Amino acid sequence: MAQYVAIHPDNPQERLLQKAAEVVRRGGVIALPTDSSYALGCHLGDKAAVERIRGLRGVDERHHLTLMCRDLSQIGQFARVDNARYRLLKATTPGRYTFILEGTRELPRRVLHPKRKTIGLRVPAHSVTLALLAVLGEPLLTSTLIIAGDEAPLIEGWEIRDRLDSQLALILDGGYCGVEPTTVVDLTGPLPVLIRAGLGALAPLGLD
Residue 208 confidence (pLDDT) above 90: no
Residue 178 pLDDT grade (very low, low, confident, very high; cuts 50, 70, 90): confident
Q: Where are the domains of the chain?
A: 3-198
Give tens-digit pLDDT for 21-33.
999 999 999 999 9
Burial 145-163 (b: 16+ CB within 10 A, else e): bbbeeeeebbbebeebbeb
According to the model, what pLDDT value does residue 207 have?
86
Average pLDDT of the segment spanning 169-181: 94
Residue 130 confidence (pLDDT) above 90: yes
For the CA atoms of 107, 35, 153, 50, the dihedral, rounded to the nearest 10 degrees, stands at 20
Residue 68 pLDDT grade (very low, low, confident, very high; cuts 50, 70, 90): very high
pLDDT > 70: what percent of the chain? 100
**Any residues with CB less than 8 A from the CB of 110 and at least 6 apart, and which?**
47, 50, 61
Of 135, 37, 19, nearest to 2 by C-alpha is 19
H or E stretch at 195: strand 193-196
Report how far residue 147's alpha carbon sits from residue 156's, in angstroms, rounded to the nearest whole number: 14
Residue 168 confidence (pLDDT) above 90: yes
Task: Give Cα 6 distance to the centre of its chain.
Answer: 20
Alpha helices by DSSP H, the chain: 14-25, 47-57, 72-78, 83-92, 127-136, 157-164
**Which CATH superfamily, name and number, covers 3-198?**
DHBP synthase (3.90.870.10)
According to the model, what pLDDT value does residue 50 have?
96
Report how far residue 155's alpha carbon sits from residue 175's, in angstroms, rounded to the nearest whole number: 8
Mean pLDDT of the chain: 95
